[in-house]
Amino acid sequence: MQADYSVLFLCTGNSARSIMAEAIMNQKGQPHFTAYSAGSRPTGAVRPEALRQLKAAHLPTHGLRSKNWGEFAQPGAPWLDFVFTVCDNAANEVCPVWPGQPLTAHWGVPDPAALQEAPGQIEKAFRDAFFLLDRRISLFLSLPLSTLDQFSLKKEIDDLGRQ
């Protein structure tokens, strides 16, 4: 029997990359993974391009919202096994103390929301970010988590952020 794990994806605005990662993990990781997302300075809204990408991939979008990472450092917050930063800003910030002393890794993904290009190029950037996150999450889910010691697991999840 495989254990159950909680994963938090962090980004500054929690409007695109971390939201997509949350949705991907919640779909692909069921029933053993529960994913959340948050931001250090959340925008308060999920980017419509991110929602369109998730819908195109037939992933549920109900309940996705931009939220502050402080929600996950409060008493009663979910116990976290893994925390992945998906943007460079959040990786460089001082994070709250997370319940459970989770393993952390940086999985930087270029910010599609930062583009000021033509709409087609913006959609392509969101699609590229989605596929990069999807690939990393799929590789993460293929790891033999129950057989890896903490040091080996940390190395593996760090390596995934470079793929």
Tally of CB atoms within 10 A around 52: 14
162 is catalytic: no
Catalytic residue among 7, 8, 10, 11: 11
Catalytic residue among 77, 95, 122, 141: 95
Catalytic residue among 19, 20, 46, 87: 87
Distances in Å between the alpha carbon of 118 and those of 22, 91, 106, 121, 125?
Answer: 27, 29, 29, 5, 11
71 is catalytic: no
| Amino acid in position 81 | D
CA 150 to CA 153: how far, in whole Å?
5
11 is catalytic: yes
Catalytic residues: 11, 87, 95
